Amino acid sequence: MTIKIGNAPCSWGVEFADDPRNPDWQSVLQQCAEAGYTGIELGPVGFMPEDPAVLGEALAKHDLDLIGGVVFRPFHDPDAWEDVMDGALRTCKALTAHSAQHLVLIDSISPRRAPTAGRADEAEQMDAAEWAAYRDRIATIARIGAEEYGLTVGIHAHAAGFMDFEPELERLLDEVDEQILKICFDTGHHSYAGFDPVGFMKRHMGRISYMHFKDIDPSVKADVIARRTGFYDACGQGIFCNLGQGDVDFPAVRHLLLEAGFQGWCTVEQDCDPTLDPDPVGDARANRDYLTSIGFNGKV
């Protein structure tokens, strides 16, 4: 079987399309390919050109496949529905234009949740009505992606949003049809939240359609949780370290993927501050080398 390894613009610090600190999209594609990857995510819609001819030519130039794209929008905010829908539809169109498969849904950071990232016992919870509406907004976008665009849609837990901790992720999975919503499982965010990535994978491997590979520096994690450090400040402090240097057991992750017969893409995401990471392409190479060293070498 084949597990393919890709990367994503967030490894170059790209979180928002209009961030003036972003590197240019052409250099991200070039450096991703130079670091040994054969696929890349779209990044926030609007970062890369939405003209299929322009982006298609650039992907072909660097022998890169487009893997998928993320809708990182405030699903938790009913007043932001137009923004969520705009991001989702534009991302769906961009993905289908390049035969990409994975639409990833992430509830963006909420001021109500940011202070308790990594602190499940302290985190504010939605009431029943708010949760139901929130769940239905996620399900609506999932259904559009799956049924109207033919994409594989995965929910992705993320620090400081309302889809962060394992119990709420499992609640959502119980309440939304598996036919329209799978899991994009992020090893690093699961660790950041205070839960065991390998344990979760053992229970839910059958619903995981796509993987994000991140590692977590345990000493930085302990410090940012104790200090209630914001997510982006934690990224600047290096909470997402190079793969193999943190607390995620990647050999065990690989074993579970092999055991389950997983095929397709696993994408490296090393979220960083674009002004503070001195060598994102060096990190990308180091991460690819580490994965190769433990057996992720294309044919496994």
Segment 173-208, tens digit of pLDDT: 999 999 999 999 999 999 999 999 999 999 999 999
Computed from CA positions of residues 56, 68, 10, 18, in that sequence, does the dihedral angle turn out positive or negative?
A: positive
How many whole angstroms separate alpha carbon 73 and alpha carbon 121? 25
pTM: 0.97
User: What pLDDT was estimated at residue 298?
Assistant: 55
- With 0-12 / 13-18 / 19 or more C-beta atoms within 10 angstroms meaning exposed / middle / buried, residue 167 is exposed
- With 0-12 / 13-18 / 19 or more C-beta atoms within 10 angstroms meaning exposed / middle / buried, residue 110 is middle
Mean pLDDT throughout 220-240? 90
Mean pLDDT throughout 227-256? 93
Q: Which amino acid is at 125?
A: Q
**Fold of the domain spanning 2-299:** TIM Barrel (3.20.20)
Q: From 189, 186, 183, 195, select the one nearest 155 (Cα to Cα).
A: 183
Query: Given the structure tokens 């130039």, which residue do they identify?
Result: 61
- Per-residue pLDDT of 68-120, as tens digits, reads 999 999 999 999 999 999 999 999 999 999 999 999 999 999 999 999 999 99
User: What pLDDT was estimated at residue 300?
Assistant: 33
Mean pLDDT throughout 10-20? 95
Mean pLDDT throughout 271-295? 90
Helix (H) and strand (E) counts in the chain: 11, 10
- Residue 179 is inside which H or E element, if any? none
User: What pLDDT was estimated at residue 2?
Assistant: 87
How many whole angstroms separate alpha carbon 168 and alpha carbon 155? 11
How many whole angstroms separate alpha carbon 268 and alpha carbon 216? 13
**Secondary structure (3-state) at 46:** coil
User: What pLDDT was estimated at residue 65?
Assistant: 98
- Per-residue pLDDT of 32-63, as tens digits, reads 999 999 999 999 999 999 999 999 999 999 99
Domain positions in the chain are 2-299
